[in-house]
Amino acid sequence: MDLANRSLVTVDDLSIGEMEGLFSLADEMSDSMNEQRGVCQGKVMASLFFEPSTRTRLSFEAAMHRLGGNVISAVDIGSTSLAKGESIADMARVVGSYADIIVIRHPWEGAAKVVADYAGVPVINAGDGGHQHPTQTLCDLYTLQKERHTIKGLRITLWGDLKYGRTIHSLIFALAKFGADILFCPSPGLEVPEHVIKKLTTEYGGELVRYEALDQAVKEGRFPLDAIYITPSSPHQLAMMPTISMQVELKAGVDALYVTRPQQERFATAEEGQELKKRYPVVNKRLLKGKAFRKTLVMHPLPRVDELAYELDADSRSMYFKQAARGVPVRMALIALLLGAKEVAIAKEEPLPKIDYPLYRRGFGVKCPNPKCVSGQETEMKYLKPEFKIANREPLTLRCIYCEHGLEPKYIASSHWHEGRLDSKKYHSADSHWVREIRPENLIIFDSENEAQTHGFKPSSYVTRRRKEHGKG
């Protein structure tokens, strides 16, 4: 396998076979740490951590040092030219001329993609806001592989903050790719974002079963199960009886319980954060006494706050410190592969069906609704234009190429004017028949009537009629 000169921005950048090959190399390196010092000798890694980090940053730097390479670093935006208004793209070009590989953590979602687009060297995403954290997912999968010898068919429970936890979002897609079933147990108000669910069910197949009527244990917060993702290869009979199947699902046992802390730094307001924290479920010995958890691995990306009891540290099922330790060989293998210093053979695999989404990249008319997306930051807007995948036509759904948030715009038009005259420069409702008839290359999308009118378009008779019906005209 040759991963040389590639970047890792999301878990979609690696196939199952490539990840398994990486795990094989991590095993090899873990067994002979002292023999790896010449693998990346003379290479330089830039470590750019613009959010707090202990495990991820130190494990990356330790990995590079153990490979015999060197590290240059920046750990505070305030001490870099970004604080002076420099764009991420310009920073990427400059740092790419100093280093052979870049590892970046940034609070803006999609920032790692921008760096990968402009740096000219391999880039590894060490966490971009609440979007993804693919190398943590590699450590999580590696731990499951080591402890269970397979990932396919496992039943993995995701617990806690499923809304803002970037480790969760990466892990969801990776588990689905490997063929695991996923049980969602969010803290109230911190459910998996809808754009993540839509991508999961659209691109990985399978079925999501939501639980509307839950038993008393769930209502009391001891096990806040609200949905199960069942892979295409799993039996679907239970999905027909969501009101009673939850207990049946739990009786089958849980292979791993993946716990996350409340990501308070990403909560919308301090008041909301305090309220959510009060209702946050805790994993302790009492919870794990149930038969469903007799052989359950307890995992956590760390750091923890109050959601995981210290009494579990001595429990043989607890894996979180092993996860952290395994971060070094996993990241050693990744760095060596991206720099072309190592290659590994991979078994042939049946690739997942790939959806070739049309792109919308006009740069006007519609913006990503995510306030934390890199494409909406004032400095970056000078060179970054909003760009989307057209994920669906009915309803018209766009997905930002940077942060992957979805949106359903309200109005559309055609660059080909329907009747061939400029006085027919009309905009239409996105739920009209025109959404099916306008070719992707001619499609113009607006998120408001004001935006459409600013660009010289007039409302179609259908839009005008709808406006009158709703008392807006």
Q: Where do the structural domains in the chain lie, given as residue ranges?
A: 11-131+325-338, 135-323, 359-469
pTM, full prediction:
0.89
Number of Cα atoms under 13 Å in the Cβ half of residue 56: 28
All residues at 6 or more sequence positions from 457 whose CB lies less than 8 Å from its CB, including other chains: 413, 425, 426, 427, 444, 446
> Average pLDDT of 286-306?
86
Position 283 scores a pLDDT of 84
State the DSSP H helix or E strand holding residue 139, giving kind and residue range, or none if neither.
helix 134-148
Q: Could you give the strand order of the β-sheet that contains 388-393, starting from the edge strand earlier in sequence?
A: 359-360, 388-393, 396-400, 406-407
- In angstroms, the CA 125 to CA 173 distance is 16
Q: Which CATH class is domain 135-323?
A: alpha beta
Is domain 11-131+325-338 annotated with CATH 3.40.50.1370?
yes
Number of Cα atoms under 13 Å in the Cβ half of residue 212: 4
Average pLDDT, the chain: 85
Q: Give the distance, in angstroms, between the CA of residue 247 and the centroid of all CA atoms in the same chain.
A: 29
pLDDT in tens, 235-293: 544 444 444 445 545 666 789 999 998 766 556 665 455 555 556 678 888 888 877 78
- In angstroms, the CA 82 to CA 86 distance is 5
User: At 34, is the secondary structure helix, strand, or coil?
Assistant: helix
Would you tell me the crossing angle of helices 166-178 and 16-30 to the nearest 10 degrees?
110
Position 447 scores a pLDDT of 92
Tokens matching residue 11: 């878990």
Position 247 scores a pLDDT of 52
Q: Is there a common fold for 11-131+325-338 and 135-323?
A: yes
> Average pLDDT of 37-63?
94
Query: How big, in percent rounded to 5, are the helix, strand and coil portions of the chain?
Result: 40, 20, 45
Position 221 scores a pLDDT of 45
**Architecture of domain 359-469 in this structure:** Roll (2.30)
Residue at token pair 């588990």: 175
User: At 73, is the secondary structure helix, strand, or coil?
Assistant: strand
